[in-house]
Homo-oligomer: A and B are copies of this chain.
Amino acid sequence: MERPGIELDTSLGYLLKEASSALRGSMEEVLRPLGMTITHYSCLELLAQRPGLSNSELARGTFVTRQSMNVLLQALERDGFVERASEPPTGRALPTRLTASGRRSLDQASAAVRSVELRMLAQLSDAEQADALRILRTMVRSLRGERD
């Protein structure tokens, strides 16, 4: 046949999607009992490490649109997990912070997610993990670089 299709078995793109899908499935599995989605968790985790991020910054950090993050933030604020400034200190960006309740909720989720990540890395040496970090960063840079 010799058609110029993409060989799935040796395609890094396909394998990347497969790995990402497997990770997503495992994370959803452990977060579901906590009543959390992945984006939900990602938002809280990002806020813990970088308090005061705005809606748009959180959206970029979790790889969703700012519209989607806006919907999520409204729910998180309504449920008391985060609080947003009522007035923008400058521009239009509203800084967001975790509440004590949000922090407790996040701590549970972090433990669950860390167990998944440890399982994913269990069969990899430190050198392989470092290689993977470097290679994935290179791939991201190449994909973004020529598109912007």
B136, A15: Cβ atoms closer than 8 Å = yes
Find the B residue at minimum CB distance from A128. Answer: B135
Is A143 interfacial (CB-CB < 8 Å)? Answer: yes
B22, A140: Cβ atoms closer than 8 Å = yes
A63, B13: Cβ atoms closer than 8 Å = no
B22, A20: Cβ atoms closer than 8 Å = no
A3, B143: Cβ atoms closer than 8 Å = no
- Inside 8 A of A132's CB, which chain B residues have their CB? 12, 15, 131-132, 135-136
Is A75 interfacial (CB-CB < 8 Å)? Answer: no
Interface centre among A6, A46, A114, A133, by most chain B C-beta atoms within 10 angstroms, is A6
Is A122 interfacial (CB-CB < 8 Å)? Answer: yes
Q: Chain A interface (Cβ within 8 Å of chain B)?
A: 3-8, 10-13, 15-23, 25-27, 29, 45-46, 48-49, 61, 63, 106-107, 110-111, 113-114, 116-117, 119-124, 128-129, 131-133, 135-144, 146-147
Closest 9 CB pairs of A and B: A20-B20, A21-B63, A22-B143, A15-B136, A19-B136, A13-B117, A132-B135, A22-B140, A120-B139
